[in-house]
């Protein structure tokens, strides 16, 4: 269950008109109030009437919601609070009574309408689809005081986790700030309207992640971004102008209507792409000789060995310190990122697509910074060595590439076990998805060389199949 707290607004009537309207794609069906500040007995009286044309008269409901705002001596500038709550695709359909209970619990959790408070804000929960509801409130209490609603996003998420357990719904992982920022509807619509292939935020995140994985420090990092035709703007300290405290990136073709470049700070792309987090990731300069032209096989073999050693390191350290064990996953993600870029040459292919899943599974939360280790240093060296290759011959080096993909898939399984033990289930699922995608890529590679390569292996993972030891079987084409 995902509650989304939207930006605050001023026009409650306009919002109600949208919720009671047909929707942008005629997706709204039978809009009706399921819960409100007045209690269930008054809901039929609050429900907007529907005219012969099918339009609802939302004027009275809008006036009732706005009455405390209009009567307040000093109301806030933005008075409309709006959240939508959507359940998982695998969840059973919920009744209106169950959704009403969810709406009341969310309003209680965020502090806008605590249970038993007769002077709380006025609000209404509207359902116009099977899988979600909308809750609309005005931010002046009925006693005239402003309801500010601090940290309501996190409070709503915590309430959703409790409701998932209470109602037996799909359990989403807790909010730990490991997911990257996804493009919003406005960004996606603009991308389609302009006919661009990629959403700018997604493309910039891939470019920044690849440059960070292939670099030993920030000077090389910024040079790689500029060489990839990414605009870079540095943020300097207000105390010492010579110190760089952050950066923003943009695309030459991505501008506002007035022609200004649209900039994205590293933290707006992903929580681990801020400059302080990248500096910590780079740490000490990486060791390892630069390969000569034509040494792709040696680089792939070295990367395979480094990943296998990192997997053993993770297993050995997991019991004593799960957080320290997971730190090598970040460096393994660097290897996958540079491998995908070298093989697919900047195109958004299967390996590039699965990098997001693996990166999410590997990412540490904001409270922990990955500790440096020998295994992690070997992986960083391997990532940089792969980035120096101009091309990987998938025919000549098929055996080594297959071994590398299988080693990564095994590492992803080990990471999934670790995340499952940490109760970080959303990251465990991402690791399992990445492992499945890696094995699919290995299967495709093996099918292209049927007389030279054995069938790749797939694992029935305990997270997906129950608490039993992994079993191994061959994939049959």
Instruction: Give the dihedral sign, CA 441/446/448/449.
Output: positive
Instruction: Give the dihedral sign, CA 319/322/327/332.
Output: positive
Of 121, 106, 144, residue with least CA distance to 3: 106
Residues in the chain: 477
Q: Give the CA count within 13 Å in the CB-facing half-sphere of 161.
A: 13
Read off the DSSP letter of residue 240: -
Pairing of strands 32-36, 457-460: unpaired
Residues with Cβ < 8 Å from 137, sequence gap 6 or more? 65, 80, 81, 82, 107, 112, 113, 121, 122, 123, 124
Residues with Cβ < 8 Å from 49, sequence gap 6 or more? 56, 57
Instruction: Please check whether residue 362 is in contact with residue 330, taking contact to mean a CB–CB distance below 8 angstroms.
Output: yes
Q: Which two tokens stand for residue 217?
A: 């420090």
What is the rounded distance in angstroms from the CA atom of residue 344 to the CA atom of residue 203? 15
How high is the pLDDT of residue 460? 43
Of 191, 202, 210, residue with least CA distance to 253: 191
Instruction: Please check whether residue 212 is in contact with residue 201, taking contact to mean a CB–CB distance below 8 angstroms.
Output: no
How high is the pLDDT of residue 289? 44
In the chain, where the domains are located = 2-167, 194-282, 296-474
How high is the pLDDT of residue 470? 35
- Residues forming beta bridges with residue 250, ordered by sequence position: 231
How high is the pLDDT of residue 176? 56
Instruction: Please check whether residue 338 is in contact with residue 387, taking contact to mean a CB–CB distance below 8 angstroms.
Output: yes
End-to-end alpha-carbon separation of the chain, Å?
37
Side-by-side strand order, sheet with 132-138: 2-5, 80-86, 132-138, 123-127, 32-36
Of 471, 412, 467, residue with least CA distance to 438: 412
What pTM was computed for the model? 0.66
CA distances from 308 to 139, 351, 364, 411 (A): 56, 19, 21, 7
The CATH number that domain 2-167 falls under is 3.30.930
Greatest Cα pair distance, the chain, in angstroms, is 82
Instruction: Please check whether residue 51 is in contact with residue 41, taking contact to mean a CB–CB distance below 8 angstroms.
Output: no
Q: Give the CA count within 13 Å in the CB-facing half-sphere of 303.
A: 32
How high is the pLDDT of residue 368? 60
Q: Give the CA count within 13 Å in the CB-facing half-sphere of 44.
A: 1
* pLDDT tens digits in sequence order for the chain, 477 residues long: 889 999 999 999 999 999 998 877 667 888 999 999 998 888 999 999 988 888 899 999 999 999 999 999 899 999 999 999 998 888 899 999 999 999 999 999 999 999 999 999 999 999 998 899 999 999 999 999 999 888 899 899 999 989 999 999 987 765 555 666 667 667 777 878 877 778 888 899 999 999 999 998 999 999 999 999 999 999 988 887 678 899 999 999 888 888 899 999 998 888 888 999 899 888 755 444 444 444 678 888 899 999 999 999 888 888 877 777 888 888 899 999 999 998 888 788 888 888 888 988 888 775 566 667 888 888 989 999 998 887 777 777 788 888 999 999 999 999 999 888 888 878 888 899 999 999 988 888 877 765 555 545 444 444 443 333 333 333 333
Q: Which two tokens stand for residue 74?
A: 């000093």
């Amino acid at each position: 269950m995902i509650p989304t707290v939207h930006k605050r607004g001023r026009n409650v009537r306009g919002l109600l008109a949208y919720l009671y309207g047909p929707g942008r794609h005629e997706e709204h069906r039978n809009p009706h109030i399921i819960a409100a500040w007045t209690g269930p007995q008054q809901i039929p009286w609050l429900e907007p009437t529907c005219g012969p044309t099918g339009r609802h008269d939302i004027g009275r409901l809008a006036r009732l919601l706005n009455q405390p705002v209009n009567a307040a001596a000093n109301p806030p500038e933005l008075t409309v609070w709006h959240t939508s709550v959507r359940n998982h695709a695998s969840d059973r359909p919920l009744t209106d009574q169950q959704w009403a209970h969810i709406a009341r619990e969310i309003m209680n959790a965020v502090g806008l309408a605590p249970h038993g408070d007769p002077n709380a804000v006025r609000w209404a929960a509207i359902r116009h689809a099977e899988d979600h509801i909308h809750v609309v409130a005005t931010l002046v209490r009925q006693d005239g005081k402003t309801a500010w609603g601090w940290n309501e996003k996190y409070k709503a998420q915590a309430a959703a986790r409790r409701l998932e357990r209470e109602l037996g719904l799909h359990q989403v992982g807790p909010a730990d700030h490991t997911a990257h920022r996804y493009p919003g509807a406005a960004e996606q619509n603009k991308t389609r309207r302009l006919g661009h292939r990629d959403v700018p935020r997604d493309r910039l995140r891939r470019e920044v992640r690849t440059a960070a994985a292939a670099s030993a420090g920030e000077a090389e990092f910024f040079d790689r971004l500029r060489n990839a035709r990414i605009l870079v703007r540095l943020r300097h300290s207000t105390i010492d102008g010579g110190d760089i405290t952050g950066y923003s990136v943009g695309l030459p073709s991505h501008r506002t209507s007035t022609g200004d470049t649209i900039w994205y700070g590293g933290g707006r792309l992903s929580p681990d792409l801020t400059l302080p987090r990248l500096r910590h990731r780079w740490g000490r300069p990486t060791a390892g000789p630069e390969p000569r032209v034509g040494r792709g096989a040696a680089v792939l073999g070295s990367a395979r060995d480094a990943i296998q050693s990192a997997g053993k390191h993770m297993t050995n350290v997991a019991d004593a310190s799960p957080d320290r064990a997971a730190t090598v996953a970040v460096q393994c993600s660097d290897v996958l990122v540079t491998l995908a870029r070298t093989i697919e040459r900047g195109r958004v292919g299967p390996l590039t697509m699965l990098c997001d899943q693996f990166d999410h599974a590997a990412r540490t939360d904001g409270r922990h910074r990955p500790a440096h280790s020998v295994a992690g240093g070997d992986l960083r060296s391997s990532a940089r060595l792969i980035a120096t290759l101009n091309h990987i011959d998938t025919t000549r080096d098929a055996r080594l590439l297959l071994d590398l993909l299988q080693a990564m898939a095994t590492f992803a399984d080990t990471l999934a076990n670790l995340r499952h033990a940490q109760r970080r289930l959303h990251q465990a699922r991402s690791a399992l998805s990445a492992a499945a995608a890696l094995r699919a890529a290995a299967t495709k590679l093996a099918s292209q060389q049927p007389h030279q390569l054995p069938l790749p292996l797939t694992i029935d993972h305990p997270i997906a199949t129950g608490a039993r030891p992994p079993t191994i079987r061959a994939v049959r084409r």
